[in-house]
Structure 1
Amino acid sequence: MDATPLASRRAAVDVLMACLDKGQPLDDALAGHRGFTALDPRDRAFVRLLLATTVRHLGEIEGVLSGLITKPLDGANAVGRQVLRLGAAQLMFLGTPPHAAVDTSVRLVEDAGLHHLKGLINAVLRRISRDGDALLVDRDPTRLNTPRWLWESWIHAYGEDTTRAIASAHLHEAPLDLTVRRDADFWAGQLEAEKLPTGTLRRKGGGHIAELPGFAEGTWWVQDAAAALPVRLLGDVTDKRVADLCAAPGGKTMQLCAAGAQVTAVDISARRMTRLGENLARAGLSANLVTADASKWTPEEKFDAILLDAPCSGTGTLRRHPDIAWLKDEEDVARLTVTQDRLLVRALDMLKPGGTLVYAVCSLQEDEGVERINGILVRNPHVKRVRVTPAELPGLEDAITPRGDVRTYPFMWADRGGLDGFYMARLTTN
């Protein structure tokens, strides 16, 4: 057996265990795994695809495995469970040749010293390779691949039809979206990208990001089309003093700088702020960078406009980060709402009278979105909602809520590849 396929899958097993057994975000687990970082780019891409596919279809995979395994694989045998999950994902969803998926899986448990599991791994995966399609018949992938806490929260907020549309969209990988500083039509051609109605460029092909035209010069940066919308809601920011709170890794900061604002970017993470500074330098942009807890930081003077992209559960980004669904729960959301309220109050204190505050979260949870804004409005009579107009969101008029806020769903622009799920609201003060 070639060592490279085995090394790739060994890294995948380790990372999947770190994620699903220890609660580490998938991206963090990958970045910290020496075996993964030592792989060549092609093999790293395979590992990412394998892991994302496994987690994206985890409910279906578990449904199949539970019907084929009579005893739980836990404790010292937990590696075997992850090997089976990865093997099943290769056979059912990636079209990996059965001999490659089965043989490497058997080798993995053998290398882990779990010789007593070799027969089980071989038998289960060969059954899946033979009967995989039949094993998936009459299953409900949208429901199975969505944890109960998420499913029930969306049913309560949006109803079953919308919930199913959301869950279905999460089964598809997100495209690569880019925000370009200028000449979007020109760069659409250079990058073989589609220009979306809101100005974002959507890449049609693959390739390494750092090798694409314009990256080194900072002409564009990676940013989901929905994530680029909050800055639009601030309107013309030329020469205005604007605070970007919870700013890292900096896509919105770069948007604001490119639009001519005098930007102060605040984030609590020194590591992430270093990355933000590097991104600004690559683009030839500058901002006042402040490493601080935005809920406690006090500026020397108030701002004309503030963008608060608050810490949240991230459930609107499951197309990109499917592990979030299995790592977060209702208690996490409840804790985050406390932080969001604290940040909102502090942000309003930093805002000049008559200034504009845009609140945004990449979450589909109503608790983190409209409920936070409604609560602030009830408790602060001097704060007013400023309705978003259809002219501000070309092609996304349906995302404007009856209250005048913005709610994007993953299934929007489905024919173009979808969107991240965001909630946005615009406020001002008397």
Structure 2
Amino acid sequence: MDADQKQPQTGRFRLLKKTEAGHGKHQPEPEQSDIAGLACRQVAMRLLAAVVERKTSLDGLTDNDHGHPQYRALAPRDRALVRAILGTALRNRGVVSAALKRFLDRPLPENARALLHLLHISAAQIVWLDVPDHAAIYLAVEAAKQDPRLKRFAGLVNAVLRRFAKQAERIRTDNQPLDNCPPWFGTLLTQAYGQEKAGAILRIQAQEPPLDLTVRSEPEIWAQKLGGHVLPNGTVRLAELSAPLTELPGFAEGEWWVQDVAASLPARLMGQIAGQRVADLCAAPGGKTAQLALAGAKVTAVDLSASRLQRLVLNMARLHLSVETWAGDMRKWQPEQLFDAVLLDAPCSSTGTIRRHPDILWTKDEADVQKLAGVQADLLDHAVRLVRPGGTVVFSNCSLSRQEGEELIRAFVDRHANVQLLPVQAADGGTAGPGHADHAGRLCAHDTG
């Protein structure tokens, strides 16, 4: 529920060169630890390899407590820089790949994947980040020299990145959105929304997202305190952070929590739930749980993962909210009493969150979409059994695939004669805005007995 801190500007680099400019005086070759910023680039290169080769979650790799050990060994400011580099490289991976094809005389050897990762993270800095060209190129060449696999490519790294620097403006502007994603995802988008809307989605995903907060009360006051503005549904949006997230006013007191505006919509669809018994399924880390509890519902939060549920409990303690919990497979859960309402925010392909989680495009594919649609259908079949006759089920996920949305719901309603599909009106949840998409729908369970 509490997102990583926003990436800061990269600041200055202390560059150590062999020859002092203008003097021709030879300087000793620096040790790796003496080159400011080099460790960040080396870690970024390794983590990019883990994402695109081993399909590892970027959130997991950059977790401050359980992430990659070399990432955790970095200072907090350096960690932020690594996240900025990786986020930018992944958001613009297709554009960089296309430029590399133009800049290379021949394809790189099949076993030169590490070189490709180095070029991608370096090009991202040159073209999109506030890193001086000479700094990005120098550090990339040093990274190549210190890697036995890449030492022989140091000259190529220098030449290719100089071409990126020379053509940075063209690379930023002269590209088609559908070229900046894997073919499977481009096909999914165009089939679902048409080429024009697909292009608009991809243009937005290439931009770094803002930070959204759900506040307990008085959003205008908190927007002023935190330097943000209020969206139509009451979410406070911050364009940038003035301090680490946990040091901002109101965090320790539990006055707000991090939650994308679209992610706040499903709980709002519950309507007036004060005093009602509500089950929040697949609840961790607890953003929607907090909304339901703050609205006065008697909430039971359910999650398959005991550790994630413990994180939810800690979040509720900070927010001074009381909820019950149950850890385990919700399909095996048999509560003593049926609920007035159930919220199922189902596990999905997460393609609606690619702006905040750009690694998703490179760690998942169409087979994952199909598999997860089946999981969601199964979970929804069980969720409706937990609600009393006349009660409400809100189903949501953060996928852009109609297979995980409209098609899934139509098939579900066809299977359940005792369920009615309720319309969602624009006034029910406010405006989500670009950056995070949720499929959300309301179902009403009727007593057919």
Q: TM-score, normalised by structure 1?
A: 0.92
Q: Identity rate of aligned residues, in percent? A: 43
SS of match in other structure, 2:103 = coil
Comparing 54-63 with 183-192, which one deviates more in the overlay?
A: 183-192
- Output the CA distance in 2 between the equivalents of 1:223 and 1:137: 31
Tell me which residue corresponds to 1:89.
124
Tell me which residue corresponds to 1:6.
38
Taking a change above 3 Å as real, the CA distance of residues 117 and 291 of structure 1, as seen in their structure-2 partners, is same
| AA partner of residue 277 (structure 1) | V
| AA partner of residue 424 (structure 1) | A
CA drift of 1:347 comes to 0.5
Superposed, which structure 2 residues align to 1:193-208 within 5 Å? 193-206=228-241, 207-208=243-244
Runs (4+) of structure 1 exceeding 4 A deviation are 134-138
Preserved contact between residue 73 and residue 80 of structure 1 (Cα < 8 Å)? no
Tell me which residue corresponds to 2:56.
24
Superposed, which structure 2 residues align to 1:315-394 within 5 Å? 315-394=351-430
Tell me which residue corresponds to 2:269.
233
- Output the CA distance in 1 between the equivalents of 2:340 and 2:160: 62
CA drift of 1:119 comes to 1.4
CA drift of 1:259 comes to 1.1
Preserved contact between residue 79 and residue 109 of structure 1 (Cα < 8 Å)? no
Preserved contact between residue 312 and residue 336 of structure 1 (Cα < 8 Å)? yes
Superposed, which structure 2 residues align to 1:6-405 within 5 Å? 6-31=38-63, 32-69=67-104, 70-75=106-111, 77-113=112-148, 114-134=150-170, 138-140=174-176, 142-206=177-241, 207-394=243-430, 396=431
Taking a change above 3 Å as real, the CA distance of residues 99 and 361 of structure 1, as seen in their structure-2 partners, is same
CA drift of 1:3 comes to 3.0
- Output the CA distance in 1 between the equivalents of 2:85 and 2:124: 7
Preserved contact between residue 73 and residue 81 of structure 1 (Cα < 8 Å)? no
Instruction: Give ranges in structure 1 of 5+ residues lacking alignment.
Output: 397-407
- Output the CA distance in 2 between the equivalents of 1:298 and 1:374: 26
Comparing 109-118 with 299-308, which one deviates more in the overlay?
A: 109-118
Q: TM-score, normalised by structure 2?
A: 0.88
- Output the CA distance in 1 between the equivalents of 2:396 and 2:172: 38
| AA partner of residue 92 (structure 1) | V
- Output the CA distance in 2 between the equivalents of 1:247 and 1:291: 10
- Output the CA distance in 2 between the equivalents of 1:240 and 1:135: 54
Indicate whether 1:424 and 2:444 are aligned. Answer: no
SS of match in other structure, 2:157 = helix
RMSD: 1.5
CA drift of 1:295 comes to 2.4
Preserved contact between residue 179 and residue 221 of structure 1 (Cα < 8 Å)? yes
| AA partner of residue 109 (structure 1) | A
- Output the CA distance in 2 between the equivalents of 1:45 and 1:135: 25
Q: Which has the larger radius of gyration?
A: 2
Taking a change above 3 Å as real, the CA distance of residues 369 and 14 of structure 1, as seen in their structure-2 partners, is same
Taking a change above 3 Å as real, the CA distance of residues 423 and 137 of structure 1, as seen in their structure-2 partners, is closer
| AA partner of residue 209 (structure 1) | L
- Output the CA distance in 2 between the equivalents of 1:322 and 1:215: 27
- Output the CA distance in 1 between the equivalents of 2:426 and 2:108: 53
SS of match in other structure, 2:88 = helix
| AA partner of residue 157 (structure 2) | I
CA drift of 1:48 comes to 0.8
SS of match in other structure, 2:54 = coil
| AA partner of residue 113 (structure 2) | A
- Output the CA distance in 1 between the equivalents of 2:427 and 2:135: 53
| AA partner of residue 276 (structure 2) | K
CA drift of 1:95 comes to 4.2
| AA partner of residue 93 (structure 1) | W
SS of match in other structure, 2:423 = coil
Preserved contact between residue 38 and residue 139 of structure 2 (Cα < 8 Å)? yes
Preserved contact between residue 178 and residue 198 of structure 2 (Cα < 8 Å)? no
Taking a change above 3 Å as real, the CA distance of residues 279 and 134 of structure 1, as seen in their structure-2 partners, is closer
Preserved contact between residue 64 and residue 136 of structure 1 (Cα < 8 Å)? no
- Output the CA distance in 2 between the equivalents of 1:180 and 1:129: 43
SS of match in other structure, 1:197 = coil
- Output the CA distance in 1 between the equivalents of 2:174 and 2:250: 47
SS of match in other structure, 1:243 = strand
Taking a change above 3 Å as real, the CA distance of residues 165 and 134 of structure 1, as seen in their structure-2 partners, is closer
SS of match in other structure, 2:301 = strand
Preserved contact between residue 396 and residue 441 of structure 2 (Cα < 8 Å)? yes
- Output the CA distance in 2 between the equivalents of 1:321 and 1:135: 22
- Output the CA distance in 1 between the equivalents of 2:44 and 2:424: 44
SS of match in other structure, 2:145 = helix
- Output the CA distance in 2 between the equivalents of 1:245 and 1:137: 43
CA drift of 1:106 comes to 1.1
